[in-house]
Amino acid sequence: MQRAQGPSGPSPKATGAGNTASEPERPGAKRQERGARVPAPRASAVAIVFVANGLGGPSFLARLPERQSALGLSDAALGLTLVGMAVGAMVASPVVGRLVSRVGSRRVVVVAAAGLGASLWTAGAAPNAPGLFAALAVVGATDAAMDISMNANGAAFEDHSGRSVMHGLHGAWSLGALAAGGIAAAGAATGVPLTVHLALAGGVIAGSVLLTRSALVSGDAVARVATGSDRAADGPAPPAADSGRRLVRPIVILAAATVGGAVIEGAPSDWSAIQMERLGVAAGVSALGYAGFMAGMVAGRFAGDRLTDRFGGAAVLRGGTSLVAMGLLVGIAVNHPAAFAVGLVLAGLGAAGFFPLAFSAAARTPGVSPGSGAATVSLAARLGFMLEPVLMGALADLVGLRWAFGLVAGVALLMAATAYRIIPAACRPVAVRLADVREP
């Protein structure tokens, strides 16, 4: 989009105040014309938002055995209760996608972080299963809103540089989740009440985003709709029907794969602490199973951008999902807490790449706005996160939790076989003018 001239006064070119040939226009130029100084977007600010979001759900999930025991829930009943988080997220996702497209991701990030921080403690205070379901629905809705908006903001920042940065941002999320797992283990070992623990975590989430909000990317509500708008006009347009199918097919394939990606990431997150406890470790140590999975994700995500730039997203996805299957099969074959922990680290390392690749590809799907693309991936992910606890809980009751992880390994192998359909080679970061990402 071209930047509109103000209602009065000479143009920058006429005054010499700006030379578009030598100095790129900044996103905050409109505000600066009115005398307000707007800081340039910073990668560190976007990364802090991802870290803050990583402190949310993992703070609760790492202490899930306490809630299961306190409420007297079977594995199947616990799985149904955990669906509350996915239900809330699925209801919120379509609305949030439209909000991001209309008002910009930065505003939605700030409101969502405040909501998540204010509601997180209720997951520890719920007195029964229906109450926990309702609390998790609210947490899931606010977490989804923050997830969609921060990924749209990250994709906008990625466009600034024209290179892959989404892995690093998701690595920042994994750092937050890893910290949440470690803090949860310490809290469980020392007897800190879960409600107090979650209230403190919520305060950190809301406070950190509020402090860094001015350095997030602003104005992405009016960014280019997708790479399809940048298509060169050097040939005739394809027939409408063919064009429609070609536009729809990639996002449908990506959404279907995202359901599988959610199962791969959700099962170790939801059930690793419970399985570790059943293998004979103490309550304070069982949370370290989740921490091991997150440690693998941190390592994989901070290496992911370099690997993606060198080998391409499809190759990274194929290798990663193969590693997930191998790690989980090791934990299944060797029924020992140490082997299971090692398998979780390998699974985390392999699972690290999917969501950064998926959100990055969704933001560049032709004919789909970045906000809508992020919402589509998030909605599909929430569907996967809703199905995963139900399937895992039912399988755990039928054949045992140890063997239920075989389902996850099978999903990972299927994704490895179809990696080049999930992440097309065309979905690469594309540089755009900074003037195209500005305040509406």
The domain segmentation of the chain, as residue ranges, is: 42-228+249-428
Average pLDDT of the chain? 79
Q: Residue 423's pLDDT is what?
A: 85
pLDDT of residue 248: 65
Residues 6+ apart with CB under 8 A from 134: 84, 126
Task: Give the per-residue pLDDT at 145.
Answer: 93
DSSP single-letter state for residue 11: -
- Report whether pLDDT(438) > 90: no
**What's the rounded Cα separation, in Å, for the pair 83 and 38?**
41
Residues 6+ apart with CB under 8 A from 291: 62, 178, 181, 182, 185
CATH fold of 42-228+249-428 reads Growth Hormone; Chain: A; (1.20.1250)
pLDDT above 80 (res 109): yes
Is the predicted pLDDT of residue 284 greater than 90, yes or no?
A: no
pTM score, whole prediction: 0.67
DSSP 8-state secondary structure symbol assigned to residue 80: H
Q: Which of 46, 226, 258, 52 is nearest to 151 (CA)?
A: 46
Given a cut of 80, whether residue 325 has pLDDT beyond it is yes
